[in-house]
Amino acid sequence: MNCEHDDDLLDDYVDGVRATDHVSDGRFAAFEQHLAGCVRCQALVADLTSIRLAASTLDEHIPPPRLWARIASSVDEQQRRPWWQRQLGATFSPWVPAAVAASITVLVSDFFLTKLFMIVT
Ligand SMILES: [Zn+2]
């Protein structure tokens, strides 16, 4: 095994799972054998373990129920928008397609009026 092992093995190891807990799965034993001789993976396990310990000391913050209601409302609002508006996001106002259509109409009308004027004169 090299350092390209399954991240789940590393996560499980940091969470305290050992090869003796999964005797039938040889991946855990192979990971631990690799870990014993790999400074890079040992440093990664040490970093993740310290992060895990630091995170366990943080206060638990439970978001207020109205926050979830607002998130759900926002998702519903996004789903109701036409596909092109969802693709463009909030960058353009809903009036942009109407403005583009009006501009094209003016350009085409101007083109034909110019041609008509040239024929008449
Ligand atoms: Zn390694």
- pLDDT per residue as tens digits for the range 26-70: 899 999 999 999 999 999 999 999 999 999 999 998 889 899 899
Note the pTM of the prediction, 2 decimals. Answer: 0.51
> Rounded to an integer, what is the distance from CA 75 to the centroid of its chain?
15
Query: Is position 69 within any domain?
Result: no
What is the structure's pLDDT at 91? Answer: 67
Structural domains of the chain, count: 2
Question: Is 15 in the same domain as 48?
Answer: yes
- Whether 92 is covered by a domain: the verdict is yes
Evaluate whether residue 89 is within a structural domain: yes
Rg (CA), the chain: 31
Is residue 66, in this structure, part of any structural domain at all? no
Residues 17 and 51 in one domain: yes
The domain in which residue 40 lies consists of 7-56
Q: State in Å: Cα 98 to ligand 1 middle.
A: 59
Give me ligand 1 centre to Cα 44, in Å. Answer: 9
4 Cα to the center of ligand 1, angstroms: 7
Give 38 Cα–ligand 1 centroid separation in angstroms.
5
CA of 40 to the centre of ligand 1 (A): 5
